[in-house]
Structures are given as C-alpha cells and as structure tokens.
Structure 1
Amino acid sequence: MKRLLCLLGMLLSLTACASGPNLPSTPKLPYPAWYVGLAAPQHMEVWVETVDVLDQRGLAFFRVHGGVAGYTGKAAGWHRGGGKSKPVNNVDLPNHIFLRWQSLVEPQAYKIKIQIPQWVRDEMVRPERVLCQWNQQWKTDYREMITLGMAPGGIVKLWVGGSCLGFKEVGRFQAEVEPLGPYRGASKGKYVSLEPENKAYVEQHGIPYGSW
C-alpha cells in the first residue's frame, strides 16, 4: 500500500499548476530551472505531501515536489543542504514556499509557510567561479538549489546552494501541526506506513529531539 501511495504522490508531484494572468513562458534566469531538495535525518522517515511555491511575480505553483526525501548519514543533527532534488521548471525565484508533510516516526502531519529573504534570491542569480570537487574542473556556478530539511517535532531547516558551491543556511523554522491530519483529512487519519528498519531504530533508540 505504501508503494502505491508513493506512486500516486509522485504522479501528483509531477503536475504543477500556476495561477495568474498572462503567465510568461519562461522566467529570466541564468539557468533553465532552479531546484527544490527534500532531506531528513537518517531513520526519521518523512513523506512530503506537497511543496507549493509563490514566485516573485506573485504566481502560485502547486505540487512542484513531493514524496520521499533524501536522508542524512545519522539520526541526530544535520548535514548541510542536498537531499532528493527536482527541477522547478518555468517558475521564477521563490517569494514563499509552502510545505506540508508527514513525520512518520511520530506520526504527525505538519505544515509551514516560509518567506524567502531577498538575499537568498540574490544568491541564486549571483555567478561564482569555483573548482568543482567531483571532477576538479573550474566552472561558473550558481546557488540554484533550495533544500528543505524536515525533522520530528515540526523542525524545518532551509539551505541555498549549488552543485559545486557550498550550501548556506537560510534559517531554522518551527512548523505547526496540520489540524486536519494527513492529507488534510482525505486519508481519514491514516499515515503512510513507516519502513520496518526505521520503526525498529526508533523503538530501540528513540527520537533525538533537540538535536536539530
């Protein structure tokens, strides 16, 4: 059942809708698309119901990402940026990001609206000459990725970075509990099932609240 829900979620995440009159065909960015990354601490399994974006033109785009996240190497603490990323095509730089997800180890559903500071958008279009560590070649790179890190208790961290540039922390945020529950009540209180290995880890070690 979890895999069926996974497939459904990924199909939904591929369908982004925009609202607003006279939508331009392509935003004027120095790259084809910017990226959203989803991350969580190891074993602290999450299911992202939706990532929505209000861009700097005031246009709304729904379900630009969702589903499973990429996981760090340990349960306590964070790495810096990264995660399971997806290009956000034909969307200008973000003014607000809306995130709704299920923290499966609790379980609890959370939601948050994050206002993106202007300095982040400035970073996303500022070229920087850098030596890429993975191929030892110089290139002009941009911080075109925003990573959303989710942890139990509704903790969200946000970073901005690039493939060859380091990630800069934007902020740490506290989400609120979604009062309607998972899928805003559509699943009648049923969460996506927790993977057995993550369930076993939490039963043995607990949840390291306070480390994020």
Structure 2
Amino acid sequence: MFKNSPAVKASVAMLLVLLAGGCATGIGQSLPYDGWTLDFFGPPYMEAWIETADVVDINGRVFRGAGSGGVSTGYPTAFSKGIPTKFRGNPKGWAEHPGGSGRRVTGAGLPRLVYVRWQSLAEPQTYEAYIEIPEPARTTMLKGEEAYCGAAGKWKTDYRKLLIIGLAPGGIAKVYLGGPCLKSTEVTRVVGTINPEGPYGGTSNGKHRPLSEESKAYIDQFGIPYGSW
C-alpha cells in the first residue's frame, strides 16, 4: 500500500491549479498502445454516481471528465426488475480480480494523479479522493506480459492498460491494474473525504441521486458492511 506523502500533497496542489486553468491538450507520452482506460466499479448494491473523475498525467496535463456517470456493481443486474425473493450479490470485501466500465483516456501520458468526486448512493454521501498512482504501477503499465486470451483462443503480448478504481461507502477507493487478457492486481487504497459542498457542488439542495429499489431493499435488510473494504 502507498500512503499520502508530501509528493501527494504537491500533486493535489498542482491538480487544483491546473483544473482552475482548464483542460490542457497535446500529444501524450509514447506508449506501446494507443490509450489507457479509466474504469470504475463498486460492490454489489453499493451504488455510486461519479460527478467527475479528472486525470493529471506525468507531463502535468489535465484531462477533465475522464470519468462520470454510473458505476458498475454487478447487482442489481441490468435486467433487474423489482425486489428479488433472494439477494444473490454479496457486497462484503472486493472481488479477487475485479473489472469495471469506463472510458479510454486518449492523448495522455501515464497517469500520475486521479481526482474523483462521487455520490455514494447507499448512504447517501458525497466524497472526493485524490489518488496518486505510484511509479512502480506506471512502470508496470509499460511492461508487456504474455497472456492467454480466451476470446481470441491464443497467447499474445498484453499490457496492463486498464486503471480500475473501486468505490465503496465510507469514501473508500481501491485501485487495480488489469489488461484485456490479464487478471487485475491491486495497486493502492485511498480513504477519501466528505465533500463539504454536498452533491452537485451544493446546487441540488443536498439531494443525491436515488438508490435503486433493489439496492435499497438489500440495505434496509442487511445494512452497509463498513470495514470490509
């Protein structure tokens, strides 16, 4: 695990300055692939909504809105209707090799810092977190690994170009690296803080997005497993 350091605080200060000045553009650092992806997920029933996810690359450039919207949770499923007679998802802890959904960050160099502000709909609460991507993780993103791709039915050289962030109640952000044919591995864990402005920067009178009927029923019955993430 990697804890906050003076370097993190300096990165945060730089991010705030750059965000105030708008989005920088330009050609990203040479990579062995055309772009990496910023993905998000959450434990079953612990729904979240990303207000913004902004990235600072190793060249100090900011890519705003690299992530936004709903977070993949597994349960409720995309086909869920109403409240099930039996809850099959288990929100305690993290999956061994999690994946997620998100967007490709093109034109960027390797990620140095990710800022995420999100609504934890399960509580509800609004959090923000500054996540420093350690240098060993960036080195790993450049290293090709031999992997068997089931979809293609053959071995190939793959790269860990999927930056996967799990968001959980309590402001927890867990970061993994994965590849299209590689299992994800843990990078770091960050505990975010409550955003004092509340949801939508204080423009919604404190109202968060609604929790789905199924997730609400699960939480009403079993509660939120704080401490398991």
TM-score w.r.t. length of structure 2: 0.80
Per residue, is there more strand in 1 or in 2?
1
1:149-206, CA deviations, whole angstroms, 9 ceiling, x for partnerless residues? 0111111100011011121101121110001101121222110111111111111111
Equivalent residue for 1:140?
A: 157
Is residue 18 from structure 1 mapped to residue 23 from structure 2 by the alignment?
yes
Amino acid at match of 1:48: I
Q: Does 1:98 align with 2:100?
A: no
Q: Which of the numbers 198, 201, 206 marks the counterpart of 1:184? A: 201
Q: Deviation digits for residues 81-115 of structure 1, max 9, x if unmatched?
A: 31113211111111100011000010000001011
Aligned to 1:38: 40
Which of 95, 109, 122 matches 2:126? Answer: 109
- 1:60 Cα offset (Å): 0.9
* Structure 1 runs (4+) greater than 6 angstroms displaced: none
Name the counterpart of 2:72. Answer: 70
Return the alpha-carbon distance in structure 2 between the equivalents of residues 94 and 188 of structure 1.
Answer: 34
Contact 1:126-1:142 within 8 A present in 2 as well:
yes
Q: Determine if contact 2:55/2:62 at 8 Å carries over to the other structure.
A: yes
TM-score after normalising by structure 1? 0.87
Q: Aligned letter for 2:93?
A: G
User: Are the aligned partners of 1:81 and 1:160 in contact in 2 as well (CA < 8 Å)?
Assistant: no
1:120 to 137, 145, 153: 137
Task: Render the CA deviation track for 1:36-83: whole Å, top value 9, x for unaligned.
Answer: 111000000100111100100001111111111111452111113311
Secondary structure of the residue aligned to 1:183 is helix
* Map of 2:77 onto structure 1: none
Identity of paired residues, percent? 42
Matched, 1:199 2:216: yes
**One-letter amino acid of the counterpart of residue 74, structure 1:** N
Tell me how far apart the structure 1 counterparts of residues 183 and 213 of structure 2 sit (CA, whole Å): 34
Quick one: distance in 2 between partners of 1:165 and 1:61?
26
Task: Count how many residue pairs are aligned between Structure 1 and Structure 2.
Answer: 193
User: Corresponding residue for 2:177?
Assistant: 160
Match of 2:3 in 1: none
CA apart distance, 1:26: 4.4
1:82 aligns with 2:99: yes
Unpaired runs of at least 5, structure 2: 1-21, 75-88
Provide, for residues 7-49 of structure 1, a one-character-per-residue CA deviation record: whole Å limited to 9, x for no partner.
xxxxxxxxxx622xxx433431111110011100000010011
